[in-house]
Amino acid sequence: QVQLEESGGGLVQAGDSVSLSCAASGLTVKSYVLGWFRQVPGKEREFVASISWSGAITPYEDSVKGRFTISRDNALDTVYLQMHNVKPEDTAVYYCAAKYRFANQYGHWGQGTQVTVLP
């Protein structure tokens, strides 16, 4: 059974840094693109960042470029999201996801972790 479990997040002040982790089990992560998404109530889930199996390709959503960094450790089956200079508009539930590298869509999702940024 595939499981993605996020950790980190919480309540922070604007300008702080936040680190999120997502541990995967039940799959061979090096065969998957790993990504982070976020969602606020009343809005659709949006893409934040993703990372290819090798780590060479890391697209970001425009509003987080230069502030967030995605990375992965295939040996630990873990993907990370380092968030710097966070803003109130970064407040959301953050989800990690896995997409088999030949698939069109993300097929596995975590339960999410809340990040709340106070002004």
pLDDT confidence bin for 30, thresholds 50/70/90 = confident
Tens of pLDDT, residue by residue over 46-74, are 999 999 999 899 999 999 999 999 999 99
Tens of pLDDT, residue by residue over 83-119, are 999 999 999 999 999 999 889 999 999 999 999 999 9
What is the reported pLDDT for 29? 86
Q: Which of 70, 90, 88 has its CA nearest to residue 80?
A: 70
Distance CA(70)–CA(61), nearest Å, equals 12
pLDDT confidence bin for 7, thresholds 50/70/90 = very high
Query: Can you name the residues that pair with 114 across neighbouring β-strands?
Result: 93
